[in-house]
A and B are shown apart, each in its own frame.
Chain A
Amino acid sequence: MENLSRRGVLKGAASVALAAALPMPAVLGAGTIKIGVVQPFSGGLELFGNQAKLGLDLAAAEINAAGGIGGSTVELIYEDDKTDPKTAVERATSLIRKDGVMAISGPITSNNRDAMMPTMSRSKVPLLYATNYEGGGCDRYLFSFNTVPNQELEQLIPALKENAGDSFYMFGADYVWPQKMFEAAETIVTGLGGKSAGKEFTPWGVKDFAPVVRRVKDSGAKCLLFALPGADGITFIRQAEDLGLLNDVTVGFLGFAETYLGAFGEGKGQNMWVTVPFAASMTDPGPAEFVAKIRKAAGDGVPISHYAFTHYNSLNAVKAALEKTGKMDSEGLVDGLTELNVKTPTGDILIGKDHHVTMNMFLAKTEGAGLAVVKPLGAIAPAPGCA
């Protein structure tokens, strides 16, 4: 008995030593496709990291249950970027060098993405980015699976104009995404013959928005295009509601996700308009099944947003791409992803030559404790601004 177990230990130790001595590809074996995941699981944006994980885990489970990709199983290797660019780069480097991943999924913030991209390009490993962002990320090794500004705004602004009025106030956080959002919005508003009633930005961490609320009120705007993500956005909406602003303006909430629901308080934060590629409340069979599967895996309480959806899509796209080219490496993946059609719960998406996706979009608004779809908008092509 004692002997046996000791031999077992020795064998284990020997194989570890052997594995360490062998070069990477041999260790990898034919049996696994490693995908690194660099997402925030601490440091402030863990909500989003958790959403990404819901989608990725489900996709990986489904792919492996169906026999993997070309016989290989998908293995996700999670790393926490702590919402910090330096950490994101470190984790990406280690995933590429030590784990030999074929691609990396992530991150959330543009800061982290911009920080990681040089490493990705240099290592020729694609980054599968599934967060809505400002556009302009044009690189052979970058694929975007969520929206860019025009996809959110093109139909939202006309809907707001029709339902609330034609003067728009724009308020957002002081960084690139809201700035690009508002640039795109201004073009659309002017094109529709609407008025821009004002535009302003705020730094993070502001706790008293009374001056902004007063100014929006005084501007006489009918619509507020709102691009202040995260907790600060919730604080603003709570104070805007408290000071009576939400009676005067209709909010177009940019970058909305179901993770916000419940944070405004019961019966609060109503009638805020959004366009999203997915809503958990959709009743069509595709999305309903997607929601049910995630609920089954992660429990009934979890919010499910389009982040779970786009990350789910991104891994399914990997499978489709590898099966298309039959080349099981990073270059094969990049070639396969370009101009690829991928099935998703809300219909097909098309990855364009510029590595951004045409997706079905939906006009929705906050209602009760959820997001109610107003109407499907059909497929909207991205204008990511790549030459």
Chain B
Amino acid sequence: MDRILIFLLDSSNAILVLMLVSLGLAVIFGLMNVINMAHGEFLVLGAYGVLTLQWAGLPFAACLVIAPMLVALIGLAAEELLIRRTYERLLDTILATWGLSLVLRQGLVLIYGPGSHAVAAPDMGSVPVFGEIYPVYRLVVMALSAAAIAFTFWVFFRTALGLQARAVIANRNMAACLGINTRMLDRLTFAFGAGLAGLAGAVMSPLISVDPNAGLGWLVPGFLSILVAGLGSLSGPIVGAAGVGAVDSLAAAISSPVWAQLTVFVAAIIVIRFFPQGLMALKRREA
């Protein structure tokens, strides 16, 4: 029994972070129809942000707060300088954001070198959980991710800003006809999505190798998550990430990471084959 609970705890960690990543992707795609290939780099920027702020002598908690905001600012600049010129041309958004990802990665290599860096893990110790000694920081990662997801939903479903964003997602022109500044919302949403990725990178930074290529490992499952669940809604990526993450963790726990990756891909292909609109579309049809 304890083994299962520990497994659930381990998986929740991975799944919650994946949810953050895919939520950011989906927010950006939903509002702007931009497939953000640079999302992984935004995540990595969050980790480097923590690293740099730590070097500057800031306490870890402050780094966790500031780094995602810096990433959001970088997202804002990227949107203004590059992304907005590609709106409504899906292929161009892919190319532009892909180019952006190369630039960001190379920039990191130039500034920080190609090697791995270590973000000093905050010394929070461990607590006994279900008969295992469990690192407290992992519990913090889960709590922060869950809080950020809840915050995102709160923003989108409980604030005027979120209402406008949902209106723009549904019908950009009509939203503008009601006096909504869609450009402003594009900027904010892109920054917000980038910030979510930055947060994911920031909270994970003490648990991973911080290097310029670290983002790729999240981008692929992140995209799978939103493909599996469909792009229609904000809960899509949450459901998708839960599915992808759970299948991955379960298969990895039962057999090995190699089989886990294979299982995830096969499961995703089956889902996409039989529910091309995504699992969430199925639910909507029934509703």
Chains A and B belong together in one complex: yes
Interface residues in chain A, defined as those with a beta carbon under 8 Å from any beta carbon in chain B: 42, 44, 46-47, 50, 174, 200-212, 214-215, 231-235, 238-239, 242-244, 259-260, 262-266, 268
Q: Determine the residue in chain B with the shortest Cβ distance to A238.
A: B207
Q: Tell me which of A42, A238, A259, A266 contacts B208 (CB under 8 A).
A: A238
Tell me the complex Cα distance, A268–B121, Å.
10
Q: Are A232 and B10 in contact (CB under 8 A)?
A: no
Tell me the complex Cα distance, A46–B114, Å.
6
- The distance from the CB of A301 to the nearest CB of chain B, in whole angstroms, is 10
Q: Are A212 and B252 in contact (CB under 8 A)?
A: yes
Q: Determine the residue in chain B with the shortest Cβ distance to A233.
A: B209
Q: Determine the residue in chain A with the shortest Cβ distance to B251.
A: A211
Given the interface pairs A42-B106, A206-B217, A214-B10, the reply to whether A268 lies near B118 with Cβ below 8 Å is: yes
Residues of A with C-beta under 8 A to B119: 265
Tell me the complex Cα distance, A239–B137, Å.
11
- The distance from the CB of A221 to the nearest CB of chain B, in whole angstroms, is 15
The answer, yes or no, to whether B204 is at the interface (CB within 8 Å) is yes
Residues of A with C-beta under 8 A to B249: 208, 211
Interface-side segment among B30-38, B154-162, B255-263 = B255-263
Q: Tell me which of B218, B220, B253, B256 contacts A201 (CB under 8 A).
A: B256
Q: Determine the residue in chain B with the shortest Cβ distance to A302.
A: B113
Residues of A with C-beta under 8 A to B121: 238, 242, 265
Tell me the complex Cα distance, A260–B115, Å.
8
- Of B17, B206, B208, B216, most A-chain CB atoms within 10 Å: B208
Q: Are B256 and A208 in contact (CB under 8 A)?
A: no
Q: Are A235 and B209 in contact (CB under 8 A)?
A: yes
15 contacts between A and B (CB under 8 A): A42-B109, A47-B115, A203-B257, A211-B7, A211-B10, A212-B252, A214-B6, A215-B253, A231-B209, A234-B208, A234-B211, A238-B209, A239-B207, A242-B121, A263-B117
Q: Tell me which of B126, B206, B256 contacts A244 (CB under 8 A).
A: B126
- The distance from the CB of B41 to the nearest CB of chain A, in whole angstroms, is 14
- The distance from the CB of B203 to the nearest CB of chain A, in whole angstroms, is 12
Given the interface pairs A46-B114, A202-B256, A203-B258, the reply to whether A231 lies near B214 with Cβ below 8 Å is: yes
Contact with A along B1-28 (1 / 0, CB 8 A): 0000011001101100100000000000
Q: Are A211 and B252 in contact (CB under 8 A)?
A: yes
Given the interface pairs A211-B10, A211-B252, A265-B118, the reply to whether A234 lies near B257 with Cβ below 8 Å is: no
- Of A207, A208, A214, most B-chain CB atoms within 10 Å: A208
The answer, yes or no, to whether B135 is at the interface (CB within 8 Å) is yes
Q: Are B213 and A210 in contact (CB under 8 A)?
A: no
Q: Are B135 and A242 in contact (CB under 8 A)?
A: yes
Q: Are A205 and B216 in contact (CB under 8 A)?
A: yes
Residues of B with C-beta under 8 A to A210: 10-11, 13-14
Tell me the complex Cα distance, A130–B11, Å.
41
Given the interface pairs A44-B213, A207-B14, A265-B121, the reply to whether A231 lies near B258 with Cβ below 8 Å is: no
Q: Are B204 and A207 in contact (CB under 8 A)?
A: yes
Q: B-side binding surface: helix, strand, loop or mixed?
A: helix
Tell me the complex Cα distance, A174–B256, Å.
11
Tell me the complex Cα distance, A16–B116, Å.
44
The answer, yes or no, to whether B133 is at the interface (CB within 8 Å) is yes
Q: Are B138 and A262 in contact (CB under 8 A)?
A: no
The answer, yes or no, to whether B65 is at the interface (CB within 8 Å) is no
Q: Are B114 and A234 in contact (CB under 8 A)?
A: no
Q: Determine the residue in chain A with the shortest Cβ distance to B114.
A: A46
Contact with A along B233-260 (1 / 0, CB 8 A): 0000000000000000100110011101
Q: Determine the residue in chain B with the shortest Cβ distance to A83.
A: B213
Q: Determine the residue in chain B with the shortest Cβ distance to A232.
A: B209
Residues of B with C-beta under 8 A to A211: 7, 10, 249, 252-253, 257, 260
- The distance from the CB of B280 to the nearest CB of chain A, in whole angstroms, is 25
The answer, yes or no, to whether B103 is at the interface (CB within 8 Å) is no
Tell me the complex Cα distance, A262–B218, Å.
24
Q: Are A206 and B207 in contact (CB under 8 A)?
A: no
Tell me the complex Cα distance, A264–B217, Å.
19
Tell me the complex Cα distance, A42–B114, Å.
8
- The distance from the CB of A235 to the nearest CB of chain B, in whole angstroms, is 5
Q: Are A234 and B216 in contact (CB under 8 A)?
A: no
Residues of A with C-beta under 8 A to B270: none
- The distance from the CB of A288 to the nearest CB of chain B, in whole angstroms, is 24
- The distance from the CB of A267 to the nearest CB of chain B, in whole angstroms, is 9
Q: Are B116 and A231 in contact (CB under 8 A)?
A: yes
The answer, yes or no, to whether B120 is at the interface (CB within 8 Å) is yes
Given the interface pairs A208-B14, A235-B208, the reply to whether A50 lies near B218 with Cβ below 8 Å is: no
Q: Determine the residue in chain B with the shortest Cβ distance to A46.
A: B114
Given contacts A174-B258, A207-B204, 9 further A-B contacts (CB under 8 A): A46-B114, A50-B114, A202-B256, A210-B11, A210-B14, A231-B209, A239-B208, A243-B135, A264-B118
Q: Which residues of chain B from 193 to 217 have a CB within 8 Å of any chain A CB?
A: 204, 206-209, 211, 213-214, 216-217
Tell me the complex Cα distance, A17–B185, Å.
59
Tell me the complex Cα distance, A262–B220, Å.
28
Q: Determine the residue in chain A with the shortest Cβ distance to B262.
A: A203
Residues of A with C-beta under 8 A to B220: 205
Tell me the complex Cα distance, A259–B113, Å.
12
Q: Determine the residue in chain A with the shortest Cβ distance to B117.
A: A263
Tell me the complex Cα distance, A232–B258, Å.
14
Residues of B with C-beta under 8 A to A244: 126, 133, 135
Residues of B with C-beta under 8 A to A212: 252, 256-257
Contact with A along B124-139 (1 / 0, CB 8 A): 0010000001010110
Q: Determine the residue in chain B with the shortest Cβ distance to A241.
A: B121
